[in-house]
Amino acid sequence: MLRKKYYTALTLLGISLTIMVITVFASFIDQIISANPPEINRERTLILDKVSLYKDGKKTDAIPSLSFLQKNIRNLQSTETISYFTSREFISFLNGKTTGHVLKFTDENFWKITDFEFTEGKAFHLNEVKNGARVAVISEKTKAYFFNEHDALGKTFPIQGLRYTVIGVVKSASPFSKVYSDVYVPYTTDINIQLTDKAVEGTYNAMLLAKTNDLRKVRAELRSRMNIKNTVSAVDSVKVHAFTSLEQFSKSSSFNDDEPEYGKTAIVVGIILVLFMLIPAISLVNINVTRIGERAEEIGVRKSFGATSGNLVNQLVIENIIITLIGGLIGLGLSVYASQLLVHFINTFDPLFKMPTDSFIISWRVFGFCLFSCLLLGLISGVYPAWKMSRMNVIYALKGGNNL
């Protein structure tokens, strides 16, 4: 490996770049679908973000309004907690700079379904929501922005011209998550709600925490709620769409707006992974054929002294897997920088609303997946050259592999 420095460097470069791309991709998917803090109950958390209204055979889709949700999506037997929330944005001017912030209007239940880590203070409670108290829970990034490193608790800052008092500071959620925000305030302080909330159509989502992982019960209950006459006047029927993060991901990746299709999702993700891996694997096969070809004499010697084709395939594939694992570790390291670079790139499109640079987190799941990808890449790129070499005529191999 060290003696063939050129081929080893080329191989390591190919592997590390491939693993880097795969890691960033896997980290992105992991943050969308896995039960990472603060969304530790993702597999039994449904986000209701769409209502379909049917009238005279025509369907109209809408984001539900808070009043619709509060009237129809409450006191479900199959759920433990239900929270309502909406995401808005506000602009702040500080030290001559204009910055955009994500603002979430929500209720006290939001903090029961999620598991945010509070570095300071606490969440708002029912009373504060009922009374429309102008209190806020802010992310660490927002704290750093408004208050530098000083204590934020009890201090105020402006949102849309009104001053809110900080009562809690949380570690930021993933920006790819539905619960991500820079600032969380009680929905009762949403002054625009009269403008945005209609009978059915509005800007709010509901987050439903099911009692068990059997989500069919929740869906059945939601259906029965929608079957009650006069749920919404002037339409024939109403359907609400409530899905887990995984189902949402499946819907969007299978290009189906209404239902998740895991088969299609697997195909789409599979195609992306194959594209990420196949082209580098083909290049690695070629590099490996040349690299192993340079060891033809060694192969010939080993065969002369009793090595079987199986022995040689094992040896060469294991060597290739070791190189791949080294490349994979380099790729994993590079993925940290690559993800930050990607965030900077994304941020250039919307300089007001900047994503945190640590938006991509490499969890143990992602690490495990990368390890699996390394092994797969090692096998794909190693087996064929090793097999080809192991079948080589001994005499030609001893002469340096002129018939390879």
Partner 1 sequence: MIHLSNIEKVYRTKTIETIALNNINLNINKGEFVAIMGPSGCGKSTLLNIMGLLDAPTRGSIVMDDQQVTALSRKKLALFRNLKLGFIFQSYHLINDLSVIDNVELPLLYRKGISGTERRKRALEALEKVGLSARTKHYPNQLSGGQRQRVAIARAIIGNPEIILADEPTGNLDSAMGEEVMNLMLHLNKTDGTTIVMVTHDELMAKKTQRVIHFFDGQQVS
Q: In the range 169-208, which residues lie near partner 1 by CB under 8 A? A: none
Residue of 262, 304, 344, 372 that binds partner 1 (CB under 8 A): 304
Q: CB nearer to partner 1: give 151 or 297.
A: 297
Instruction: Give the Å distances, CA to CA, from 267 to 12, 28, 243.
Output: 29, 18, 21
In the complex, the smallest distance separating the C-beta of residue 288 from partner 1, rounded to whole angstroms, is 17
Q: How many CB atoms lie within 10 A of CB 57?
A: 6
Asked if 358 touches partner 1 (CB under 8 A), the answer is no
In the complex, the smallest distance separating the C-beta of residue 293 from partner 1, rounded to whole angstroms, is 15
Asked if 306 touches partner 1 (CB under 8 A), the answer is yes
- Pure H helices in 79-169: 110-113, 126-130, 140-147
Applying CB under 8 A, the span of 223-231, 277-285, 297-305, 381-389 interacting with partner 1 comes to: 297-305
Asked if 309 touches partner 1 (CB under 8 A), the answer is yes
Asked if 6 touches partner 1 (CB under 8 A), the answer is no
Residue of 93, 305, 345, 364 that binds partner 1 (CB under 8 A): 305
Residue of 42, 104, 251, 302 that binds partner 1 (CB under 8 A): 302
> Residue 157: which H helix or E strand, with range?
strand 156-159
Asked if 398 touches partner 1 (CB under 8 A), the answer is yes
Q: CB nearer to partner 1: give 121 or 300.
A: 300
Residues 248-251: contacts with CB within 8 Å, 24+ apart? 248/32, 248/47, 249/29, 249/32, 249/33
Which residues, in sequence order, are CB contacts of 87 under 8 Å at separation 6+? 102, 103, 104, 181
Structure tokens at 255: 């290009």
Asked if 5 touches partner 1 (CB under 8 A), the answer is no
Asked if 402 touches partner 1 (CB under 8 A), the answer is no
**Coil, strand, or helix at residue 224?**
helix
Q: CB nearer to partner 1: give 363 or 393.
A: 393
**Coil, strand, or helix at residue 258?**
coil
Q: How many CB atoms lie within 10 A of CB 70?
A: 16
Contact 51, 237 (CB under 8 A): no
How many whole angstroms separate alpha carbon 208 and alpha carbon 231? 19
Asked if 235 touches partner 1 (CB under 8 A), the answer is no
Asked if 3 touches partner 1 (CB under 8 A), the answer is yes
Residue of 87, 298, 336, 376 that binds partner 1 (CB under 8 A): 298
Q: CB nearer to partner 1: give 119 or 308.
A: 308
Which residues are near partner 1 by CB under 8 A?
3, 297-298, 300-311, 393-395, 398
